[in-house]
Amino acid sequence: MSKKKYEWKRIKEPTENMLAHYEKLFRRNQNKWMRRSKMEESHFGAIFEKKGKEYQLLGSVDNRDNMLVAETNGENYYFVHSDVIDSFLLEKE
């Protein structure tokens, strides 16, 4: 089974139940001792900018380091690999 690495794959708006699931998965994954992402649990909900648009980190999509982000205006949602998010969030710190 190959790992899928998303780079800004646009998706339709998740349901409230799915948003809660993605948040829970993010918090669980970021609390593991061994994890690939450099993000911490405190990064949940963090806002970052890319090409003049603001995005918010909303959770983990899976155990393969793919994250869910949304434009802060709530128009579009995306699956993005954690390496991409790391570069935006950790550059700010």
The 10s digit of each residue's pLDDT in 39-58 is 888 899 999 998 899 999 99
Tokens 């993605």 — which residue? 22
Distance, CA of 45 to CA of 3 (rounded, Å): 25
Residue range of the domain that includes 88: 9-92
What is the number of domains present in the chain? 1
80, β-bridge pairs: 67
Q: pTM for the whole thing? A: 0.84
pLDDT mean across residues, the chain: 86
Query: In this structure, is residue 2 part of a structural domain?
Result: no
Query: In this structure, is residue 34 part of a structural domain?
Result: yes
Query: In this structure, is residue 31 part of a structural domain?
Result: yes
Query: In this structure, is residue 22 part of a structural domain?
Result: yes
Query: In this structure, is residue 84 part of a structural domain?
Result: yes
Query: In this structure, is residue 50 part of a structural domain?
Result: yes
- Reference 5, options 83, 87, 78; nearest CA is 83
